[in-house]
Structure 1
């Protein structure tokens, strides 16, 4: 299991700024659900996101169209008003 959870410089500051500004944030990742959730928790960024889209749970990986269709359908169903949505991909150093 890959336990790497080092963030890019300033990554947490950007997430904090966007969340405080009222943006809805979502993570999208290929991989094993439990591994990705642990990595985000360990990095201290899990709670910045409204939802997490992980390929293991969706059944398709990025860049397949079905992966993004699922993400957009979930986001659209959860929004009661038009709003700006930013997709943030969780990137770590290897």
Structure 2
């Protein structure tokens, strides 16, 4: 347990936080699975997130939603943060080209 005035290493705590975030039980809103299932039959679906690649993929897989998305675009792997134009230009160019790094 962390105590007041205890010295911590920020990067270590950040890593632990990300790990625990990905290990949590992924609860879905009622109807979310059905909506994704229906939409995936008629639409291309993507995830666009600030999140860390590994954590987001793990959370999507644990929730059962991973299979519905054609690709996952995150700031870590693209190298630009939202809302920078470069981030969205990258996403648009890859969606338009039909490229996919996740693939299903």
> Is the pair's TM-score, using the shorter chain for normalization, greater than 0.5?
yes
Aligned pairs (5 A) from 1:61-72: 61-72=81-92
Residue 54 of structure 1 deviates from its aligned partner by: 1.2
Instruction: Give matches, 1:40-51, under 5 Å.
Output: 40-51=60-71
State the distance in 1 between where 2:89 and 2:27 align. 29
The structure richer in helix per residue is: 2
Larger relative CO (CA 8 A, sep 6+): 1 or 2? 1
The CA RMSD measured in Å over matched residues stands at 1.5
| Structure 1 residue 32, shift from structure 2 partner | 1.0
Q: Within 1, Cα distance between the matches of 2:30 and 2:83?
A: 26
Whether 2:32 is the aligned partner of 1:11: answer yes
Structure whose CA Rg is larger: 2
| Number of the residue aligned with 2:51 | 31
The equivalent of 1:85 in structure 2 is none
Unmatched tracts of structure 1, length 5 or more: 80-94
In structure 2, list runs of 5 or more residues that go unmatched. Answer: 1-17, 100-104
